[in-house]
């Protein structure tokens, strides 16, 4: 079955779960309440960043109205130790025990030091306010930039990538190049802030624990909770049918899950715990602050001779996390001499975590701005510079790309965006008191096919049910899986019911790494094709079958009928005759044989941005933005467009607004709410458009689709920053580009103009 069949796949179908969501009937984690004797937990966080609890007085809290239990390190159940801080293998990362309230030690600000459980949320919160804690405080270390000399080399980066890579001799060739750029960029701490906060409802029974929570990957939560509780994973059922965003913050269990489970087991009644928005900043991970050193050396024709990319990241002293920030540079541009390195600096903060497009988002922000700087030095158009450095094969692996349309993305975008109108000389285009500029950047994101299983059944009446523990984090998973099943079985979408988010369903790798849509759809596709084979097999078991010796691929399942040659009949008639009890199939997919060994698998794109900068105030305004995307076959044109638009908005935020401000004295994130943590709003993002190349990549998976969700982030911020430079001639290398960083130099532009 090829990817070229006509049908629902690829169409801009509305979300099948849309009505449930807009009418409030889609149940999110904190909304599960159909259990008896449910009570509420509230977490009290530490008021210091490093030290030890000397005394904790819970007597007044225990006597407060409605309070049922106060859990601290003094009475918390025994749990396994967390283990060494070094980065484990990916499988160990997701399933390691995550003990809570296990010791008197405090490792980061707002780390849980107590859980109060009460009849109501308000009573639990009030009780937490009555706890008195005395600490022995130790001096913490929080700053990254002033401590780069204390950096160390981790064993591996996130996802198991090699920490360093080297080809040729960058140190010798770079200084000898005709044109060089040697620049240092910095990116700040950032926080995920999905719309739905972290929450969990824990319910124990004779069968074990049922955990209703908001998670991107049920298997990770099941494994992590089971390891912490010291029980078999199969005794933990995780239910997460709807997830209000994740961005990587919900790939592992956090304090809400562990504490709810511990308290529910102690009290022998259901316990619900949620992190407040403020608590999420310290307890639900963040993107680490980073320093990026980019060295680019080119000959007089603009061809890279040497490329070096060094990244220093902050990491927790307790649990190491090394974001794979420089990995993308190993596959993006050709250069015979290459070097990428990752280093970490220990801090007394909570661990960094996966945040949408880990690695590429901050790395491309720096690297693609450095490429723009090289284009300026060479007096070459930024697109032309990238075209001249287009590799024939993966520069470091030496294998061909499964598909690569980066040049087409850039040229298509240039034509549609009106790139020819861009003045390459900065600060030359004005409209009154504003300067106008354009910028662009490339995008790249690895493509993965995760290990996914799916169950598909069809009844004699033609109703199709699809089951897998995959999650829908707002990306449209319910819809695209409905489209795949409907097309492959030739039934209307209204005949398909997709159920997700329950560990009782076949196991998947969940939503993350931009593999969710392609992997889940491939598993459903495989199960549907297996079901078609079962239909043919059952039909052939009957005498005088018109399908005798037929290959399942020869049958056409279209519009509720089954046809081969001139023979056609209604699917329900056939099923009623051969399988009155219905048929079911289960199938699994994973990395396709040698395809991931023999090919370099990536999605690509190009971003274009136009901005205005007010000369008097330094305010930056987006005027318009375009992204051209090469992500293989598009499974749903509408939800895919929404994904890229969201990524573009994220990139705008990273370039202009987003930063979690750390108080370097106390290790406290100052702007830990949505009043002061600035995100792009509709008024900030202006006119945005998306174009898909849409060519299937059958080396990626049978459907020809590739990872999409995070690609919209990759390089988007760099396009905005490069536009700001083109508008003003001011190169700010410390993100975000807030107006205070532009104002001192804008005055000189105005004086020159006079």
pLDDT at 565: 87
The answer on pLDDT for 93 being more than 80 is: no
pLDDT band for position 1 (cuts 50, 70, 90): very low
CATH class assigned to 39-139+192-284: alpha beta
The answer on pLDDT for 288 being more than 50 is: yes
Q: For residues 525 and 16, give the distance between their C-alpha atoms in angstroms, rounded to a whole number.
A: 18
The answer on pLDDT for 91 being more than 80 is: no
- The percent of residues above 70 in pLDDT, for the chain, comes to 98
694, 696, 699, 702 alpha-carbon torsion, rounded to 10°: 130
pLDDT band for position 3 (cuts 50, 70, 90): very low
In this prediction, residues 472-490 reach a mean pLDDT of 97
CATH class assigned to 17-24+449-591: alpha beta
430: Cα separation from own chain's centroid:
38
Three-state SS at 437: strand
H-helix segments, 396-440 = 406-417
The answer on pLDDT for 2 being more than 50 is: no
Q: Detail the DSSP E strand segments found in 236-376.
A: 236-239, 271-274, 290-298, 304-316, 337-347
pLDDT tens figures, 155-196: 999 989 999 999 999 999 999 999 999 999 999 999 999 999
The answer on pLDDT for 5 being more than 60 is: no
Q: For residues 734 and 379, give the distance between their C-alpha atoms in angstroms, rounded to a whole number.
A: 24
pLDDT tens figures, 570-582: 999 999 999 999 9
Going by C-alpha positions, the residue among 528, 531, 526 that lies closest to residue 575 is 531
Q: Is 710 a catalytic residue?
A: yes
The answer on pLDDT for 92 being more than 80 is: no
C-beta of residue 712 within 8 angstroms of C-beta of residue 644: yes
Q: For residues 467 and 231, give the distance between their C-alpha atoms in angstroms, rounded to a whole number.
A: 26
pLDDT tens figures, 254-274: 999 999 999 999 999 999 999
C-beta of residue 302 within 8 angstroms of C-beta of residue 380: yes
Q: For residues 372 and 718, give the distance between their C-alpha atoms in angstroms, rounded to a whole number.
A: 9
In this prediction, residues 455-475 reach a mean pLDDT of 97
pLDDT tens figures, 118-146: 999 999 999 999 999 999 999 999 999 99
This prediction has a pTM of 0.96
Three-state SS at 612: strand
Q: For residues 154 and 138, give the distance between their C-alpha atoms in angstroms, rounded to a whole number.
A: 26
- In the structure encoding, which two tokens stand for residue 133, read together? 């804690």
C-beta of residue 97 within 8 angstroms of C-beta of residue 91: no
Where are the CATH 3.30.365.10 domain residues in the chain?
Answer: 17-24+449-591, 39-139+192-284, 357-447+597-753
- The percent of residues above 90 in pLDDT, for the chain, comes to 92
Long-range pairs, 124-129, Cβ under 8 A, ≥24: 124/40, 124/41, 124/42, 124/66, 124/67, 125/42, 126/64, 127/42, 127/61, 127/62, 127/64, 127/66, 127/67, 127/70, 128/42, 128/43, 128/44, 128/61
pLDDT band for position 30 (cuts 50, 70, 90): very high
Average pLDDT, the chain: 95
pLDDT at 125: 98
pLDDT at 592: 73
Q: For residues 48 and 90, give the distance between their C-alpha atoms in angstroms, rounded to a whole number.
A: 31
Q: For residues 711 and 606, give the distance between their C-alpha atoms in angstroms, rounded to a whole number.
A: 10
User: Phi/psi zone of residue 398: left (φ > 0), alpha (ψ -120 to 50 degrees), beta?
Assistant: left
Q: Quick one: fold of 357-447+597-753?
A: Aldehyde Oxidoreductase; domain 4 (3.30.365)
In this prediction, residues 421-443 reach a mean pLDDT of 97
Residues facing residue 137 across a β-bridge: 51
**What H or E segment, with its residue span, contains residue 479?**
helix 477-489
Catalytic residue among 305, 710, 747, 750: 710
The answer on pLDDT for 708 being more than 70 is: yes
Q: For residues 281 and 14, give the distance between their C-alpha atoms in angstroms, rounded to a whole number.
A: 34
Going by DSSP bridges, is the β-strand pair 165-167/337-347 parallel, antiparallel, or unpaired? antiparallel
Three-state SS at 720: helix
pLDDT at 751: 59
Q: How far is CA 694 from CA 332, 599, 704, in A?
A: 20, 19, 10
């Amino acid at each position: 079955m090829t990817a070229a069949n006509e049908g629902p796949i690829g169409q801009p179908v509305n979300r099948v779960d849309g009505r449930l969501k807009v009418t409030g009937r889609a149940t999110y984690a904190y909304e599960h309440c159909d259990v008896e004797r449910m009570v509420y937990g509230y977490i009290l966080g530490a008021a210091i960043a490093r030290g030890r609890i000397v005394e904790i007085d819970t007597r007044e809290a225990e006597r407060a109205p409605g309070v049922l239990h106060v859990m601290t390190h003094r009475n918390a159940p025994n749990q396994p130790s967390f283990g060494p801080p070094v980065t484990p293998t990916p499988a160990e990362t997701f399933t390691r025990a995550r003990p809570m309230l296990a010791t008197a030690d405090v490792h980061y600000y707002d780390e849980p030091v107590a859980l109060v459980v009460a009849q109501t949320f308000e009573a639990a919160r009030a009780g937490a306010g009555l706890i008195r804690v005395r600490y022995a405080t130790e001096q913490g270390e929080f700053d990254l930039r002033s401590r780069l000399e204390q950096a160390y080399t981790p064993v591996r980066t996130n996802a198991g990538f090699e920490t360093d890579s080297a080809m040729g001799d960058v140190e010798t060739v770079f200084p000898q190049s005709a044109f060089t750029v040697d620049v240092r960029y910095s990116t700040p701490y950032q926080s995920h802030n999905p719309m739905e906060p972290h929450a969990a409802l824990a319910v124990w029974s004779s069968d074990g624990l049922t955990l209703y929570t908001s998670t991107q990957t049920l298997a990770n939560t099941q494994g992590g909770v089971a390891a912490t509780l010291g029980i078999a994973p199969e005794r933990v059922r995780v239910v997460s049918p709807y997830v209000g965003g994740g961005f990587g913050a919900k790939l592992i269990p956090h304090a809400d899950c562990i504490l709810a489970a511990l308290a529910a087991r102690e009290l022998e009644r259901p316990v619900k715990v949620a992190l407040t928005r403020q608590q999420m900043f310290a307890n639900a991970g963040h993107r680490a602050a980073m320093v990026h050193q980019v060295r680019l050396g080119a000959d007089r024709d603009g061809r890279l001779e040497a490329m070096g990319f060094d990244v220093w990241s902050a990491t927790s002293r307790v649990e190491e996390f090394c974001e794979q920030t420089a990995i993308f540079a190993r596959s993006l541009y050709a250069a015979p001499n290459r070097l990428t390195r990752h280093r970490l600096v220990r801090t007394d903060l909570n661990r960094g975590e996966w945040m949408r497009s880990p690695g590429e988002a901050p790395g491309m922000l720096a690297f693609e701005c450095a490429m723009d700087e090289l284009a300026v030095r060479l007096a070459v158009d930024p697109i032309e510079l990238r075209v001249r450095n287009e590799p024939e094969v993966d520069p470091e692996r030496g294998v061909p790309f499964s598909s690569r349309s980066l040049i087409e993305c850039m040229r298509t975008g240039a034509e549609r965006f009106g790139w020819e109108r861009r003045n390459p000389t900065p600060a030359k285009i004005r409209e009154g008191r504003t300067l106008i500029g354009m910028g662009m950047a490339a995008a790249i994101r690895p493509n993965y096919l995760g290990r996914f299983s799916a169950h598909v059944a069809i009844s004699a009446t033609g109703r199709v049910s699809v089951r897998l523990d995959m999650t829908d984090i707002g990306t449209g998973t319910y819809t695209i899986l409905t489209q795949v099943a409907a097309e492959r079985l030739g039934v209307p979408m209204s005949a398909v019911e997709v159920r997700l988010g329950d560990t009782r369903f076949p196991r998947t790798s969940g939503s993350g790494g931009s593999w969710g849509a392609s992997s889940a759809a491939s598993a459903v596709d495989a199960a549907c094709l297996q079901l078609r084979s079962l239909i043919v097999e059952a039909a052939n078991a009957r005498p005088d079958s018109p399908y005798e010796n037929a290959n399942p691929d020869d049958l056409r399942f279209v519009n509720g009928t089954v046809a081969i040659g001139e023979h056609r009949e209604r699917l329900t008639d056939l099923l009623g005759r051969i399988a009155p009890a219905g048929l079911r199939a289960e199938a699994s997919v994973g990395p396709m044989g040698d395809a991931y060994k023999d090919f370099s698998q990536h999605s690509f794109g190009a971003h274009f941005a136009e901005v205005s900068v007010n000369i008097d105030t330094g305010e930056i305004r987006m005027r318009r933005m375009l992204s051209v995307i090469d992500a293989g076959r598009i499974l749903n044109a509408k939800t895919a467009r929404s994904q890229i638009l969201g990524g573009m908005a994220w990139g705008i935020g990273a370039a202009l607004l987003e930063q979690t401000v750390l108080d370097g004295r106390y290790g406290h994130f100052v702007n830990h709410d949505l009043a002061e943590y600035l995100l792009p709003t509709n008024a900030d993002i202006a006119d945005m458009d998306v174009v898909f190349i849409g060519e299937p990549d059958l080396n990626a998976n049978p459907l020809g689709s590739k990872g999409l969700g995070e690609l919209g982030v990759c390089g988007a911020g760099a396009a905005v920053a490069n536009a700001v430079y083109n508008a003003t001639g001011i190169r700010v290398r410390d993100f975000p580009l807030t107006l205070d960083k532009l104002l001192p130099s804008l005055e000189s532009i105005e004086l020159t103009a006079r």
